[in-house]
Amino acid sequence: MRLLLIAFLLVTFPLVAQKRPYDTVPNLPEHYWVRLEKFKKENTLPGKIVFLGNSITEGGNWRRLLKDSTIINRGISGDNTFGVLARLDEVIELKPSSLFILIGTNDLSKKIPDEAIIENIFLIISRIKAESPRTKIFVQSIFPVNETVEKFPMQFNNASHILIINDQLARYAERMRYTYVDVYEKLVDEQGRLNKNFTNDGLHLNGAGYQRWVEVLKSLKHL
């Protein structure tokens, strides 16, 4: 199965697969390594629900939001698809019952091509399927941003890229046997921006934004 998935990736994204000049792991923020050390010291039991991603995931108090003290938060502020791939061993060792992935926003801020981001997400999925086959994988859409708030200018002007990546993630869900979760449509306003009711800075979610996210997951019976 893993060889078939790798072959699929090579055929689908031949140029990206042959050359990967965008690896940002050497330049990840100090917070990334601090969080990894924290994870190593945690006494976590396998077989639980895991949320994996960047600052948007890290910022969620998932145990309180879901009223479940066993939820595991594996979000790291500033992380991107390369960083997730580099730390995936620790996540796989948890053998999650369900894994909710949200990643890609910080890749876009670094001008990493859409194809490279999609390939990395597919590589994350293929590794989990190969090494933790019982894990239910939920790949969540990249969330919209709102440039009118102007606190994170490097994250803006990416609206078209977000739509392209989300479209590909939705399109390949059945073929790669994961569940695509469209949270984007529940957070976006009529102008295609992150609804101001759900953010204080145009990028990260506020309390109402996290509540909406949880409502989406529950309405689809993923939790």
Taking the chain (223 residues) in runs of 10, the rounded mean pLDDT of each run is 49 47 79 96 93 98 97 97 96 97 95 93 95 97 87 71 97 96 97 94 95 97 94
What is the per-residue pLDDT for 17?
42
Q: What is the pLDDT of residue 18?
A: 45
pLDDT computed for residue 154 by the predictor: 56
At 207 the three-state DSSP class reads: helix
Whether 144 contacts 159, CB under 8 Å: yes
Which of 57, 141, 56 is CA-nearest to residue 91? 57
The whole-angstrom distance between residue 53's C-alpha and the CA centroid of its chain comes to 4
What's the pLDDT score for residue 20?
61
Distances (CA, A) of 123 to 8, 85, 110, 119, 141: 10, 8, 20, 6, 16
- Class at the top of the CATH hierarchy for domain 2-219: alpha beta
Structure tokens at 36: 């990894």
37-57: burial string, b at 16+ Cβ within 10 Å, e else:
eebeeeeeeeebbbbbbbbbb
